[in-house]
A and B are shown apart, each in its own frame.
Chain A
Amino acid sequence: MILAVAQEVSYVSNSVGNDTASEQLRQPRPDKVQSQQAVGRRRKPADKRKTLEILFFISPALILIAVFMLLPIIQAIRFSVYNWKGFGPLVDFVGLKNYARVLQNEVFTDAMIHNLIIIGGSIALQLPIGLGIALLLNRKMKIQSLLRTIIFVPYVLSEVIAGVIWFQLLQPQYGVVDTIMSKLGIQGPAQGWLGTPELALWTVLAVLTWKYLGLAVILFLAGLQGVPSELYEAAEIDGASWWQIQRKITIPLLGPTLRTWGFLSMIGSLQLFDMVWILTGGGPANSTTTMASFLVSEGTKRQNFGVAAAASVVLFIVALILAISYQQFVLKRDSQPDEDRTKSKKVKV
């Protein structure tokens, strides 16, 4: 249930995004408002019927959302104010004590920092590498589609399977990585990559980069398709070099794609659970605990469901705040009306 809540964060934040975007699209131009309203008044009975029809058709979806999204969120909030072992009636009301226990817990605050490191690290690593690969793959060459597939395969692989494979590869002493390194005369860390507290989080980050680079590349490639070829031609005629074209034309026009990808990456990093759970279980010495892994171990291993629910609500709020501020400050420019955008561009120039 708590997991469900964690997952919902993405749905909710996504839908927030869609709403603002679509609202702006729906906003009619001032000059047309008058006539549309006039038409609307005349067609009222038909509209009523239409509303009913829409209601009828979206009600299954609404019911599903209510049962599987809203209800669990409400339940999680309810659990979070009780001291509850996971069975029996909810009787031991403790108010906000569970929240205090979560926020004063060093393991949880460290987990928040780990989440932030993963957010920053993912973007810092995947953005330049992904962009570089996408730009290279965007050139015409013979094995283009084969290369694209190879880059994308890790993303298609189930996270659990990828995690188990990497867990085996990274075994100390007997693992493939350590074996290859020792053949080359390099000694791997004594406790292994995942067993050394100082290295574990970076190892997880490396595996995540391997896993999610494919998504970044595919998205960037899709964005590149949207850059009109006339611009390239014009630049070439003007004598621009390949580098100049990438810097002055491709990357600026890729902006909206990059920003959307950044959003997806951020939300994914915030909810990071599967990979951590399989590779390290949050250990060693809590050095890779994320907010999600904290709440799962608090709930299922220690049966402190109240505390786990409080942690899930905190995670929900953190994700919501980050998502909304990202929408507000970063994605908004992509959904601005054309006039505003040209205005702001003029100011820049």
Chain B
Amino acid sequence: MISKSRTAKFFALAATGSLLFSGCASGSENPEASGDKTTTITWWHNSNNGEGKAYYEKVAKDFEAAHKGVDIEVHAMQHEDMLTKLDAAFQSGDTPDVYMERGGGELAAHVAAGLTKDLSDSASDELKFLGDTAGGWQIDGKTYALPYSLGAAGFWYNKALFKKAGVEKAPETWQDLLDASDKLKKAGITPISVGAGDKWPAAHYWYYAAVRECAEQTLSNAVSNLDFSDQCFVKAGDDVTQLIDAEPFNPGFLSTPAQSGPTSASGLLATGKVAMELAGHWEPGVMQGLTEDGKGLGEDTGWFSFPAIEGGQGDPKAQLGGGDAWAVAQNAPDEAVEFAKYMVSEKVQRGFAELDMGLPANPEAKDAVADPALASMLDVRDKAPYFQLYFDTAFGASVGGAMNDQIALLFAGKSEAQKIVDASQDAADLEK
């Protein structure tokens, strides 16, 4: 009797086990692939809400309709989620067929590990009209991803508060910025919010100062040879120190997050608690999400380019920024490349621009950008003599992380200009 029930239990266990395993197996296989000749493309993107998500679903449907036998599996994810999942996917080697690459050192590492497809030949037509903008995704003369959104960082400001403090025109030089900050403080307004708790928003100040201080050649040499010996990098730290000493930042900026919640750096700007913030092209969208009426600063939203720094060797019109590009996994089918190409076509990019999902990289789609502040930034971006990728992206996570940590320490008054350069160089030497 006892042994009988025991056997029964064993079989029950075994049955559950086999059920579990078969469940896993059928999950990973594609049931349609065995039937007719359907090619499935997995696509990960980060437009996970509202119109953007619906638009991307439509884009996938359109592509399926035009290409018989292609099935696109769309995965819309929250941005940070997607990055985490992508990291896990790269670790396991099971990457999605079409995914987002931010270029620079990150991409270089993926290419070195043989995870990303070379698109130089298969997308040669697209690369012609994308032109210089694809530069951030090129390694040794080969292009590995097609940029679809490219934005510069700059100061987003509250026009009403500037007016109230008597700041008539947007600052053009470093001294202008310091003066504006003084005037705002006298009017009882906190001049600038910075999310130094997340480190990178603080680091953007140093990056931009370095772009102003360093000649183009010095920057490109730093990116390709990981060499920070030029004195201009130390000067950048001195400039930032000068700004920090003027105390323009929101109280508690050392623990302020960048974008989450109404007391974040973006939240403070969106709710009129501070006058300006240095941020990328995503800022209007973020601010809209942080206000009750969903309008952000609305008509008071203004944008000005990072001010010129006197005596700097960089072109004052050069821009620092970043972008997103579609990359194709090394082992993906050819249809995936077609899909990436379709994604940067004029048709798809126009719809992308009309919904303010970003700043389109395809020049034919530029006039479709609806938001006036974004449109003005687009002008600045396209008139820039050169475009520097955010340093933490350009140098890769390891060097960028060391750099950001040290810049955050500078903001806390616990570091100095030379130490930022030393820490970056030390981390870079470990990469060589």
Chain A interface residues toward B at CB < 8 A: 83, 85-89, 101, 107, 168, 171-175, 190-192, 194-197, 200, 280-281, 283-286, 297, 300-304
B397 interface neighbour in A174, A285, A301, Cβ under 8 Å: A301
Determine if A284 and B87 form an interchain contact, defined as CB atoms under 8 angstroms apart: no
Secondary structure dominating the interface of B:
helix
Determine if A283 and B115 form an interchain contact, defined as CB atoms under 8 angstroms apart: no
Determine if A284 and B91 form an interchain contact, defined as CB atoms under 8 angstroms apart: no
Chain B interface residues toward A at CB < 8 A: 84, 87, 90-91, 93, 109-110, 112-115, 196-199, 251-256, 261, 263, 396-398, 400-402, 405, 408-409, 412-414, 430
Determine if B412 and A197 form an interchain contact, defined as CB atoms under 8 angstroms apart: yes
- Report the separation of the CA atoms of residues A284 and B199 in the bound assembly, to the nearest whole angstrom: 10
Determine if A197 and B263 form an interchain contact, defined as CB atoms under 8 angstroms apart: no
Name which residue of chain B comes closest to A173, CB basis.
B251
A326: shortest Cβ distance to chain B, in Å?
34
Name which residue of chain A comes closest to B396, CB basis.
A303
A64: shortest Cβ distance to chain B, in Å?
13
The 4 closest A-B pairs by CB, nearest first: A172-B252, A88-B113, A192-B252, A302-B401
Determine if A86 and B409 form an interchain contact, defined as CB atoms under 8 angstroms apart: no
Name which residue of chain A comes closest to B93, CB basis.
A87
Name which residue of chain B comes closest to A303, CB basis.
B397
A284 interface neighbour in B109, B115, B196, B397, Cβ under 8 Å: B196
**Contact status of A172 and B251, CB under 8 A, knowing A88-B114, A195-B256, A285-B412:** yes
Q: A87-B87, A171-B252, A174-B263 are in contact. List 11 more A-B contacts (CB 8 A).
A: A88-B113, A88-B114, A168-B261, A191-B251, A197-B412, A283-B254, A284-B196, A285-B414, A302-B400, A303-B397, A303-B401
Determine if B398 and A304 form an interchain contact, defined as CB atoms under 8 angstroms apart: yes
- Report the separation of the CA atoms of residues A28 and B430 in the bound assembly, to the nearest whole angstrom: 58
Which of A190, A197, A297, A303 has most chain B Cβ within 10 Å?
A303
Determine if A302 and B254 form an interchain contact, defined as CB atoms under 8 angstroms apart: no
Determine if B251 and A86 form an interchain contact, defined as CB atoms under 8 angstroms apart: no
- Report the separation of the CA atoms of residues A300 and B87 in the bound assembly, to the nearest whole angstrom: 9
B197: shortest Cβ distance to chain A, in Å?
6
Which of B84, B87, B402 has most chain A Cβ within 10 Å?
B87
Determine if A284 and B254 form an interchain contact, defined as CB atoms under 8 angstroms apart: yes
Determine if A195 and B252 form an interchain contact, defined as CB atoms under 8 angstroms apart: yes
**Contact status of A88 and B112, CB under 8 A, knowing A192-B252, A285-B254:** yes
Name which residue of chain A comes closest to B257, CB basis.
A281
B255 interface neighbour in A174, A195, A300, Cβ under 8 Å: A195
Neighbouring B residues of A85 by C-beta, 8 Å: 109, 113, 397-398
Neighbouring A residues of B198 by C-beta, 8 Å: 281
Neighbouring B residues of A172 by C-beta, 8 Å: 251-252, 255
A228: shortest Cβ distance to chain B, in Å?
42
A281 interface neighbour in B93, B109, B110, B197, Cβ under 8 Å: B197
Neighbouring B residues of A300 by C-beta, 8 Å: 84, 87
**Contact status of A87 and B90, CB under 8 A, knowing A174-B263, A284-B196:** yes
Neighbouring B residues of A191 by C-beta, 8 Å: 251-255
**Contact status of A284 and B90, CB under 8 A, knowing A172-B252, A303-B398, A304-B398:** no
Determine if A302 and B87 form an interchain contact, defined as CB atoms under 8 angstroms apart: no
